Amino acid sequence: MVFGRDGLTKQTGLDGIWAGLLGQPPRNGASRVDPTLSRQLEKLLQKIGIQGLHKHRKIGPFKLAARAFDAGPTWEDYLAENPALPGDQVRRIRIYLLLLAGRSWRVTWIDFKRRCCFVEPADGGGKARWIFPGTGGASFALSRAIRDVLLGADPPARLTSRAEARLAGAREAAINMVHPGGTVISRDSGRDVRWWTWAGLRANATLIATLSSVADTAQRAEEFFVRLRSDVTPDMWHAAVTGTEGRLCLPAVDDKALDGLKFSAALPRHLAEATLAARLADLGGAEITLAEPARFLTL
């Protein structure tokens, strides 16, 4: 007899394997498995030569137990030992799972020198990661183009009367945010200090990490400005900026960004942090911004 998948009888023309066979009651009482027979079933199967499959997996030099004793959405923990070491104690080995092309894979070995990750099919687990958070926002080039327009440059497009009026209003509102001779550091009556860099999100994140002595590191990076400490003075500013050439710092990486990094399960934490920090930084844009003079302004 041939059976198909349950719920697909109309498509396959076959009875489902559970509804048509496995879920059917015994034909008679003699075929029913009672508790007494159930307790003796393993011995009876061994007597006729049927034994359970004990599959041991090898990860590097370690021989793993047949089944995981603990598991999570992206990992499995096994008891393992190294057969090459006589008297080696049983230890805990964590195996990470990936989800690629709609299938689950178990990481078996990573060759960092050749940048290869070896995997084998897994029954389940892993997490799809399609979007890398934290790298959006305006770039340095786009931010500087916006600054140029606010300073008076005409956009390379034909503008309607309404657009011209809106642009004039934007230029008037940004009069204390842009300056043709460099950047602007503005302080308002509420002691909110902003350094208008017009450098883009990644360059500003780099500047916050580099100027941690004067930047408000508790605030998230913005696209057009860096928020500074409320007590910053021109002397403090110049002391912090002096000597920054060639010693820029990469932005800090949080746990949420690490979790969103694709293939993070296959990387040591320090390597994943270095990868993300490099992607979050714009060293060139930060260097250009630091080289420009800054003008302090009290509103």
Q: Calculate the average pLDDT of the chain.
A: 81
Q: How far is residue 254 CA from its own chain's centroid?
A: 10
Amino acid 134: pLDDT = 43
DSSP state of 162: H
Q: Is the pLDDT of residue 252 over 60?
A: yes
Confidence of residue 183 (pLDDT cuts 50, 70, 90): very high
Residues 237, 9: Cα–Cα separation, whole Å: 75
pLDDT in tens, 126-161: 665 544 444 467 899 999 999 999 999 988 888 899
pLDDT at residue 265 tops 70: no
Give pTM, 2 decimals. 0.55
More confident residue, 278 or 60: 278
Over range 16-36, report the average pLDDT: 73
Look at residue 33 in the predicted model and tell me its pLDDT: 67
Please report how the helices 161-173 and 140-150 are oriented relative to each other, as an axis angle in degrees rounded to 10. Answer: 100
Summarize the confidence of residues 277-294 as an average pLDDT.
91
User: Could you read off the pLDDT of 71-120 as tens digits, one per residue?
Assistant: 777 778 888 888 888 777 888 888 777 777 667 877 877 777 777 777 87
Where are the domains positioned within the chain?
1-27, 58-121, 140-298
For residue 223, which of 132, 135, 139 has the smallest C-alpha distance? 139
Does position 32 have pLDDT exceeding 50, yes or no? yes
Q: How confident is the model at residue 227 (pLDDT cuts 50, 70, 90)?
A: very high
Query: For residues 61 and 44, what is the distance between their CA atoms, to the nearest angstrom?
Result: 37
What value does the mean pLDDT take over residues 200-204? 92
